[in-house]
Amino acid sequence: MGHALPKTEYATASSLSSVASSFGPRLSLVRGGVPRSVDFDPGAKPQSAVATREITILCLILVGLQFLDFALTALGVSHLGIEAEGNPMIRGLMHLWGPLPALLSVKFLATLVIYLLFIVARQVKWIRAALRAVIALYLCAAILPWSGILLGTFFL
């Protein structure tokens, strides 16, 4: 009365390697009863390496923008006065501490935040998009305005 169930065999990487090219660069295999995705492109970089490189580049761009903004702000404030600073918090610190100590403190804090974002970005996927947005915002709200003001001051 009892019928024996047929034994189920799973495909392995070695048994499917000859037909892998017909399925494209990725092929799902079952190993030990668990589906796995196997990459047959030996030159492909793991996603985490690509993401880490992008995070590194974005953070370095932000640090570079901090240095550029420091230089532009210091130049602008030295020629036009503290009131030329558009950020009221930084302007207030400049009145309390002086332009250079305030700028150095703010840029140090910003660089520390960038470093913390660099550390956390490997675990939080949306930080890469946020870093891109901050770069665009920083260019539009800090670098371009100071560049325009200083170009107008020195060359017009």
Q: For 32-86, what is each residue's pLDDT tens digit?
A: 555 555 444 555 455 578 888 999 999 999 999 999 999 999 999 999 999 999 9
Residue 156: the pLDDT is 73
Structure tokens at 61: 């761009």
What's the chain's average pLDDT? 81
Confidence of residue 102 (pLDDT cuts 50, 70, 90): very high
Q: What's this model's pTM, rounded to 2 decimal places? A: 0.68
Q: Cα–Cα distances in Å, from 7 out to 4, 10, 50?
A: 9, 10, 42
**Percentage of the chain with pLDDT > 90?**
60
CB 13 within 8 A of CB 38: yes
Q: Quote the Cα angle for 30-16-10, to 5°.
A: 30
